[in-house]
A and B are shown apart, each in its own frame.
Chain A
Amino acid sequence: MRRFELEDSSKKKIAALFVFLSIIALIPLFLLFEESFSVHMALHLVLMFALAPALVGTQFFLWVFPPTIRAKLHQRLGALLTGYAVFSTPVIAFSLSTAFLWFSHVPAIFDATLTNDAFHAFIHFGLLATAVLYWQPLFYANKELPYLSTNESKVFYILASATQSALLGSLIAFSSTILFKGYLAMNNPSAVLMDQQLGGAIMLIAGAFPYTVAIFLSLQKE
């Protein structure tokens, strides 16, 4: 069972702590996001930049199971793991996470999530799942899962994502019209516009920091 062997148990424990902290942070955000676009964006950030990489870092907590159960899981979930390996190939993972992020912020789609809980849950799950795929190639070198082995490939991979994310944040932050009209039901137009610009700014400015930290953490000494 090489795939789920502990490579660095302390890293996994730290990641587990981050999973816990992310969930704590998500609770108030889930209570407020339907009233405020900026809170909604903060929620997305926690999902994509805290919970998703932390989950990858814990290797989905499979290490807590005894080796015999892990062996059985590996046999039964072999196809799922193969699929995971395919979809977390860097080009596919980047394309999927980028496409889903932009799709989920198309105004009509976004407004639909505010009126349909099931669809909203699907979008949030999709953001989390594609973000998990995105972070996978940056974690734990092993033979069976895709891994970016050189520093330059890691830097380009992360910066490509940072660029598209910042572009999306800019389009929202600097828009002078209300893009997400679903929030007009909750507040007056000028407050909605200000909140929308704040949400975009959170994506643009706050979103840059996790990528920078990711580069710092993922680089190896040469």
Chain B
Amino acid sequence: MKNETNSNPSNYGAVLRVSIVYMVFGFVMFMILGLLGLTMRLQQGNLITIEPTSFYSIMTFHGIGMISTALLIVIGGFAAVLGKSVSLNVKWLWIIFTFFFVGMGFVMFSTLIGGFAAGWTALYPLPFQGTWSEWAAVGTTVGIAFMLSGLLLYFGMVITFTSRAYGGLGRALAIRYLTSRGKNQDGPLPKPFEILGVAVSIPGLVCVAAGFVWLIPLWLQAGGLITGTDVLAMKNYDYLFGHLLANLTIYFAAGLLYFLLPIYTKRELKTTWPVALALNAAIVLLVVAYFHHLYQDFAQPLALSALGQIATYISTIPVLLVTIFSGLSHLYRAGIRWSATLVLIALGIWGWVFGGIGGILDSTIAINQVMHNTLWVPAHFHTYLLLGTLAFAWAFLFHVTHNVSQISESPRSKIAASLYGIGGAGFILVFFLSGALSIPRRMADYFPEWQPYAISAVPFIVTLGIGALWIGYEMFKRLRVAWRQTHVSLDPSTALE
């Protein structure tokens, strides 16, 4: 079964430019939000003093901002990958960027100036009962709505344009090939990252819908049109939206990995039957695994919790099969020459596995009863975001600036990538250790016996920051030339390869 490219988009240079803007803006936001993260750890270690209200505002912006930033970076990168074979609408891409930019602005101003400090998990009596004004809560929710609107456009674009390129949604998902156990295919077979894009965009639409189902009653309540909401239902929609949002980041990042690996290992990543099955399984498993967020709610049916645990366990199989196995087998004895991009790719695979194991443990009901609301949870999501999603994203951005500018890579950039990895690993290991010791999450003021753990994270964060800055420097010094090159006619079939 041969993978074929269906079209040869003429607007690829423009797509690549928008993609670069997404990722560079994301990098800048990552550094700013990372500084806020450092501020929180300094406060928890009692090395600086900030008011608890300010701490929780910072935490809210750091949390919503980082997840949005990670998503913006990976969907931007993914557009550059998908745009090679599928003709994307550049105008839409700019509008999606605008929605994210405006949305992040709302969240930033509403938290840092407005003092909104409820976090995105604004459970009853939040988000309106607090030390902040009602407008700060409204501002934050409007910001989230802007970002959701951007995502709605993005997912709609990926599904529509990829389906158009392959002659229908079924073909874009390789359904005929899948149902015939690999014997029949209906037209050209999409590449793995193309199937992935369409497959995860479907739960992406569920994420957007859940987000709005959560937001609209909040606005009605703020406007005085309704006096209250079903708080358990609101919690469920809030968490469904949040769960999917967080998971989408890593799946789109995996798309970047599927693109990069064959280039560096010179081994083709084909759409085989198991790969098509695993990618399509994500449509269902991504959503069903959400039930692991219900463990602490005694009012919810117990069967849903059991389903959550089982689905979470099953959801690891496609990831293991396609991303981890395939990634490692590509790297094994490929005769590769290590570069910063490859260091970041290897780091990303490690981060996904390690963060995933942390998540699987926490999704086990018996363990969750102990670990819930401890630092184990931030340990899990910081691992897969910082060392999984973002490691893949930086690898891709590094590759783009290096490849398009044609400026050779400095051997020292491998050190920068390694510093990022060492700093990141130390930082999250302290989180895991703290979680194992039942130190709670979301706490501004620590007891003296907890403070050494927060303090010990600081040197790792600084190392991580130096690594990130260095990577940024290496990327940005090539950026001007790369940007100019995007105006030169780029052949999409060979670009970035």
Binding site for B on A (CB under 8 A): 151-152, 155, 158-159, 162-163, 166-167, 169-171, 173-174, 176, 197-198, 200-201, 204-205, 208, 211-212, 215-216, 219-222
Q: Are A205 and B21 in contact (CB under 8 A)?
A: no
**Which residue of B18, B94, B132, B146 is within 8 Å of A215 (Cβ)?**
B94
Closest 4 CB pairs of A and B: A170-B109, A222-B14, A174-B114, A222-B90
Query: With A205-B138, A215-B98 in contact, is A170–B90 under 8 Å at CB?
Result: no
Q: CA A200 – CA B135 in complex, angstroms?
A: 9
Query: With A166-B105, A171-B113, A174-B113 in contact, is A151–B94 under 8 Å at CB?
Result: yes
Nearest B residue to A158 via CB reads: B98
Query: With A167-B109, A211-B102 in contact, is A174–B90 under 8 Å at CB?
Result: no
Nearest B residue to A176 via CB reads: B133
| Set of chain B residues within 8 Å of A215, measured between Cβ atoms | 94-95, 98
Query: With A166-B109, A174-B115 in contact, is A219–B91 under 8 Å at CB?
Result: yes
**Which residue of A159, A174, A212 is within 8 Å of B133 (Cβ)?**
A174
| Set of chain B residues within 8 Å of A198, measured between Cβ atoms | 135
Q: List 8 A-B contacts (CB under 8 A).
A: A166-B109, A167-B113, A170-B109, A170-B114, A204-B135, A208-B105, A221-B90, A222-B91
Q: Are A204 and B98 in contact (CB under 8 A)?
A: no
Q: Are A170 and B113 in contact (CB under 8 A)?
A: yes
Query: With A221-B91, A222-B11 in contact, is A208–B138 under 8 Å at CB?
Result: no
Q: CA A129 – CA B97 in complex, angstroms?
A: 29
Chain B min CB distance to A105 (Å): 15
| Set of chain A residues within 8 Å of B95, measured between Cβ atoms | 212, 215-216, 219
Chain B min CB distance to A179 (Å): 14
Interface residues of B in 58-116 (CB under 8 A from A): 90-91, 94-95, 97-99, 101-102, 105-106, 109-110, 113-115
- Does B257 sit at the interface, judged by CB under 8 A? no
Chain A binding surface, main DSSP class: helix
Q: Are A173 and B135 in contact (CB under 8 A)?
A: yes
| Set of chain B residues within 8 Å of A221, measured between Cβ atoms | 90-91
Query: With A152-B21, A212-B98 in contact, is A166–B91 under 8 Å at CB?
Result: no
Q: Are A197 and B135 in contact (CB under 8 A)?
A: yes
Q: CA A219 – CA B18 in complex, angstroms?
A: 13
Q: CA A79 – CA B94 in complex, angstroms?
A: 37
Max count, chain A CB within 10 A of own CB: residue among B14, B18, B90, B94: B94
| Set of chain A residues within 8 Å of B21, measured between Cβ atoms | 152, 155
- Binary CB contact string for chain B from 103 to 139 against chain A (1 if under 8 A, 0 otherwise): 0011001100111000000000000000011011011
Max count, chain B CB within 10 A of own CB: residue among A151, A176, A205, A222: A222
